[in-house]
Structure 1
Amino acid sequence: MQRKSLGLVALIVVPGTLIGLVFSILLLLAPAKPAAADCGPTASVVINGDTKVDGYSQEQLKNAAVILGAGKALDLSLRGQMISVMVSLGESGLRVLDYGDGPGPDSRGLFQQRDNGAWGSYADRMDPTISATNFIKALQKVEGWELLEPTLAGNKVQRNADPYHYEKYWPGAVKLVQALSDGEYSLEGNDCAIPGKAGAGDDYPWKDSPTWMQVGAGAAAASPLGMFYRECVDFALWRVNQQMGSTGEPFKFLNGNFRPDGQGLGSALTWKSGWDAKGWPTGSVPRVGAVVWYAPGAGGADPTYGHVAVVKEVKDDGTYVEEGYNGNPPPDDHNYYTRTVSNEIPSAFLYLPTQEEKK
């Protein structure tokens, strides 16, 4: 290994295989967070007259509880219940409104449902339980809604002009569900709070496997994805599979089958061209779950091969939190890391088909 001026380590690349690349950005470092609780189970409502949530009235709490109850009756996951509360917050402020707006003057109720026959009668739309039930049934019919960011899932049902209209209401929905349900769901490091990602924290399944540096650049170091264990590219491809619903062998997306032209996805250097060859979208805006692509030398990445990571969280101050493997110098290389990064540092963001760039 050869020391670089920035304290980075250059790794030997073996043709036809994908290795991870040591990566360093001189920005704020955030410690790895532990895996969070499962966001799948349906929550049961626990509310009484003494229940209080700062910033919300008793009317709003009652309507949120009704939405959770409707979700439980339909066996809706906790994530789905949060999405339902989020949409109602964004549409009516969790109030049963007897009026609409300019684009929808006939909209009514908790979800501002239109008088177009799809949402029942006026009385149905004004009934919190019925309107919530109808929204949830429509959500459950959206193919792959669990893999979408919450705001995009809600938009697939409501079809409002801005698909990101509900994004700012997600923290409030998490807060309300936490207060009104029988579970504990935190905004920190929790899959319930981080949309568009099937896992949370260091859930990489081969975190204890030997690296190619320990056993040599051979098959013994190759993961089921066709990359070397505990490299940046192997973690990123694991997260891609996970988000697309492939969480066990045989995995859907491999180094050897990702590109339709038969070429390997390759090292971090060629991931952008791999995305282009596959026809998946790319852009300049971070979306949770998107792959972060650093061209060689960008932001302190390896000057020959670059680096890849995954967007874990997007902040309001123009930064995002990325997660990945092999992003620190020895002795902490080939381990999980999180790091807060300015949006302008990466070369591109590589989106999944369930994501899109905010315009």
Structure 2
Amino acid sequence: MTNIKSKLPLVGDTIFSEMSQLAQQLNAINLGQGFPDFQPDNELLNAVCQAVQQGSNQYAPMTGVPALRQAIHDKVIAHQGRSYDINAEITVTSGATEALTSSILALVQSGDSVVLIDPSYDLYAPVVTLAGGHPVHVPMNPPTAGNPRFSLNWDAIADAINQQTRLLVLNFPHNPTGLTLREEDLDALEQIAARHPFLILSDEAYEHIVFDERPHVSPVSRPVLAARCVLISSFAKTLHATGWKIGYCCAPVEISREIRKIHQYSVYSVNTPFQAGIAAYLKQSQTVQTLSAFYQKKRDRLMHGLASTKLRPLTSEGTFFLLADTQALGQTSEKELAIRLTREAGVATIPVSAFYPEPSSPLANHHLLRLCFAKQDTTLDAAIERLAGL
């Protein structure tokens, strides 16, 4: 038998797969993995069906269907204030996952350092390793009694960046903490960028889910940052269609050229009728404008419901996740508690410790679980009722 040497020997099944599988086995309500349990808009479904019937069933251009690239161009101008050339600087990808992977593989060379802000999405570090790079983890300041929210430590980020730093990965609105950027964050980032020539990867998959009338603040809104930034987003979260895997990346032409070299040999092109359907739908839909209000009602429903349980919700500024403090349930590790809640209460969650490089470390365990509220109201109410029985 041939011996196979793994390129990612420390990588196994993700915590999302693990908790979803446990939820299925126990018939638990799954508030762990981030996907809606309701259908996309019928008009969107009809637009995709119409694209199929009208013949959009062959390979799309490698860079994406022109109509969708135009729609992305118009959307980014409207919401981030940045114009990208639809032919040279916008690429449609197989979800944000492929956009992130292709970008990291294209931009990170062997020996480069990549700064990740923890807790961080679990894709980043393995792909950096696959590219031959070295992940440098910088933790956020965890919640305290006086400040019950995560916060960025820009001094620590600045200290982690040096001449070997190739890439800084940002993810705002932030998964899992729900934190959003402020203009003062971009001020701090500009000051660091003035000292070092690193690139920025901005994962903005939840860009249209921001609460309490906060604006979505993106690095590409600042010209000096946009010149070195890859903007990545996804229609999965915006259109309630995570299974379609349609994302995109926008970047200056010289950066896009390198990303496209990886993209064309990873997937070549992306599902044609879904691209065409989304492009047609965006011309007449108000989904983007109403999404924050739609999810804010669900956030508030879950927060108010958790007040009757042993879990103490933290405020979520964006995404369709919120964190809950579990200290009233004991001092076990977050993963142990997540498994316990799935078994005893019939509600699956995600331990925030899973978003750190060493999940079992005390530094990764702040007695927090992540709950997804992208669910029907009946689902949320049933989960709250179960959790109230703890």
Larger radius of gyration: 1
Please give the TM-score of this superposition, normalised by the length of structure 2: 0.24
Please give the TM-score of this superposition, normalised by the length of structure 1: 0.25
Greater fraction of residues in strand: 2
Choose between structure 1 and 2 for higher RCO, CA contacts under 8 A separated by at least 6 residues: 2
Greater fraction of residues in helix: 2
